[in-house]
Structure 1
Amino acid sequence: MERKVQTKIKGYRTVDGAGVSLVRVLGNQTMEEFDPILMLDSFDSTNPKDYIAGFPMHPHRGIETISYLSRGKMVHRDTLGNEEAISDGEVQWMNAGSGILHEEMVPAADRLLGVQLWLNLPAHEKMSQPTYHSIKKEEIPEVSFDAGKIRVLAASYKDIQGYKGEHWPIDYYDIHFDQEGSLELSTEMDDFVMIFTLLGDVIVGDTLIEEKTAVRLTPGTSIHLKSHHTPSQVLFIRSKPLKEPIAWAGPIVMNTQKELEQAFTDLQTGQFIKEKAQY
């Protein structure tokens, strides 16, 4: 049974952080429809003034942030003592868990191109130990097909294994199509499946999806993707819906209003960080 387009969300230009111009695609208006993906921001600029102010130190609790840079550079620093950079084709994966402060600074590059996802955590993992992991180019398997390639950013493609998250299952592929490329992927019937058109337009089934658009697909066992006259780059995400209540304010996502209020009380009273840096 082939999956079709269920919901289509076109991104819009906004500003976040200390003045970073970005395309916001998913947010608190789409959190139920795209469960467990809470947010998707896309970066695409050849003007460093759009992004070099970066994202100064700020808190998170209850989510994982997954940043993928197809082009450019990002420098991460956090209260666990991590300080590391990712660049072209690499991934920054942070579990905020019980609470973390971090910053993401974005040095000038010829082009900044990528996305950040917020992956919701299940209730029993909301207060898990925070962690940070960078996935370097050499750790990302690439699989060629007739008209392009798949970069396995997370989990697996067929028998090819990439990085595996620890808290909630997610398959994450960066799919590159040649000018007339096409690909069919298999899925379990009830998986949550979405795509995001990072570069170029693609056709899903018989529906044209424009660049910088997120699409949730109907249930099914397969998906057919095809580039639309030009080379394109598509991010494919497969996961399981959490189907849990969401209490969300700013950078913190919990299950109840009481938990949310406790998080902000912890911030105000210096109790937010449960795990200290290890030196």
Structure 2
Amino acid sequence: MRIETPKAEPGFLGPDHTARAVITGGFSTSDPFIMLMDDYLDKKDNTPVGGAHPHAGFETVSLLLEGEVGDAAHTMKAGDFQLMTAGSGIVHTETIDKAATMRLLQLWVNLPKQDRLAQPRVQDLPFEHAPTLHEGGVHIKLYSGSLAGLTSPVKNHTPMTIADVSIDPGTTTTLEIPAHFNTFLYVLDGSVLIGDDQTVLNKGQVGWLDLGTDDSASALGLTAGSLGVRFALYSGKPTGDKIVSHGPFIADTSEDISRFYSEYRRGKMKHISTVPESQRLSW
């Protein structure tokens, strides 16, 4: 297991914004996951921050841990989940115009090469509709994929499992994860002992599991520490593709990046709120 401890850095939304880069080391080691930011905002005034910006060539996956974010059309509350397929290109607006406390995990996921230019789509799964398990001191809220007998309704171009998992103090459990999926745990609270060697993962740390080569299930043994544990679980099937990343765009070549910028400047990328109703899915 590879263990990392992401450091808090000043965020781009001003002095009240702290950001942690949860994924480091380059895409070749984290495929299909490109980036995961843990954003904490403790905004004390009504000055608007954020705004409209483009995306293309990948998907954003948002899990709101605390607070609210959104607009009149759609507001995410604590525990809500959203998967936005930027695909061929969209414009997205994230503006916070009042005093607020918010913690958001936002993931960038690579689209398989054949789906790079997929039709833009947005899927919302609110906290109260996410499949849930409470059994033997283990509590799972599943947002994507399948885990512990649960299956999420969210549609994926890239197969992946995303869950918010809590385990009561001293409780031991085993979760089955596809061995050939890239998997990591990000501890939000408490601590957990992992595997036969009882590797300890503490609050604020990231633990990357060893990546297997076959599609069998890998048994992940977990024992919660004395204060229990809560962690976000991310597990995804590597695309095996090389990518080029620049600003808000992910592509296969530098030429594709240039084309995305040109399309955005010429107004060819439409706002995500204008996509057809058939591409706005609420579960």
- Which band: TM-score by shorter chain? 0.7 to 0.9
**Range 220-229 or range 133-142, more displaced:** 220-229
The correspondence for 1:48, drawn from 26, 43, 51, is: 43
Name the CA distance, whole Å, in 2 between partners of 1:50 and 1:263: 35
Name the CA distance, whole Å, in 2 between partners of 1:12 and 1:126: 31
Question: What is the DSSP-based 3-state SS (H/G/I as helix, E as strand, rest coil) of the residue aligned with 1:92?
Answer: strand
Give the alignment's Cα RMSD to 1 decimal.
2.5
Shift of 1:129: 0.9
Q: Is the 8 A contact 1:68 1:89 kept in 2?
A: yes
Q: Is the 8 A contact 2:192 2:222 kept in 1?
A: yes
Shift of 1:276: 8.4
Question: What is the DSSP-based 3-state SS (H/G/I as helix, E as strand, rest coil) of the residue aligned with 2:274?
Answer: coil
Aligned residue pair count: 266
The one-letter code sitting in structure 2 at the alignment partner of 1:74 is V
The correspondence for 1:249, drawn from 246, 249, 253, is: 246
Query: What is the match of residue 200 of structure 2?
Result: 208
Name the CA distance, whole Å, in 1 between partners of 2:114 and 2:45: 38
Q: Is the 8 A contact 1:147 1:180 kept in 2?
A: no
Name the CA distance, whole Å, in 2 between partners of 1:261 and 1:71: 37
Judged with a 3 Å threshold, the aligned counterparts in structure 2 of structure 1 residues 51 and 92 are, in CA distance, closer, same or farther, namely: farther
The one-letter code sitting in structure 2 at the alignment partner of 1:215 is G
Query: What is the match of residue 33 of structure 1?
Result: 29
The correspondence for 1:193, drawn from 183, 191, 197, is: 183
Question: What is the DSSP-based 3-state SS (H/G/I as helix, E as strand, rest coil) of the residue aligned with 1:26?
Answer: coil
Question: What is the DSSP-based 3-state SS (H/G/I as helix, E as strand, rest coil) of the residue aligned with 2:128?
Answer: helix
Query: What is the match of residue 113 of structure 1?
Result: 103
Q: Is the 8 A contact 2:64 2:103 kept in 1?
A: yes
Shift of 1:166: 3.2
**Range 175-184 or range 142-151, more displaced:** 175-184
Query: What is the match of residue 80 of structure 1?
Result: none
Shift of 1:23: 1.6
Judged with a 3 Å threshold, the aligned counterparts in structure 2 of structure 1 residues 98 and 145 are, in CA distance, closer, same or farther, namely: same
Judged with a 3 Å threshold, the aligned counterparts in structure 2 of structure 1 residues 196 and 275 are, in CA distance, closer, same or farther, namely: closer
The correspondence for 1:15, drawn from 5, 10, 22, is: 10
Query: What is the match of residue 163 of structure 2?
Result: 173
Q: Is the 8 A contact 2:187 2:205 kept in 1?
A: yes
Name the CA distance, whole Å, in 2 between partners of 1:54 and 1:274: 19
Q: Which runs of 5+ in 1 are unaligned?
A: 78-82
Residues 211-243 of structure 1 show CA distances to partners (whole Å, capped at 9, x for unaligned) of 222222114611112222213211112221011
Name the CA distance, whole Å, in 1 between partners of 2:74 and 2:160: 24
Residues 140-182 of structure 1 show CA distances to partners (whole Å, capped at 9, x for unaligned) of 0110122230111112224322232231111111101222233
Residues 239-272 of structure 1 show CA distances to partners (whole Å, capped at 9, x for unaligned) of 2101101100111111111111211122233334
Name the CA distance, whole Å, in 2 between partners of 1:9 and 1:222: 22
Shift of 1:128: 0.9
Name the CA distance, whole Å, in 2 between partners of 1:148 and 1:54: 38
Judged with a 3 Å threshold, the aligned counterparts in structure 2 of structure 1 residues 191 and 67 are, in CA distance, closer, same or farther, namely: same
Q: Is the 8 A contact 1:98 1:273 kept in 2?
A: no
Q: Is the 8 A contact 2:186 2:207 kept in 1?
A: yes
Q: Which runs of 5+ in 2 are unaligned?
A: 213-217, 277-283
Shift of 1:17: 4.0
Name the CA distance, whole Å, in 2 between partners of 1:173 and 1:252: 26
Does residue 263 in structure 1 map to residue 263 in structure 2?
Answer: no
Query: What is the match of residue 277 of structure 1?
Result: 274
The correspondence for 1:73, drawn from 68, 71, 80, is: 68
Q: Is the 8 A contact 1:17 1:54 kept in 2?
A: no
Q: Calculate percent identity across the aligned residue pairs.
A: 23
Residues 16-72 of structure 1 show CA distances to partners (whole Å, capped at 9, x for unaligned) of 443232222225x43221110111111346x33499854311111011111111221
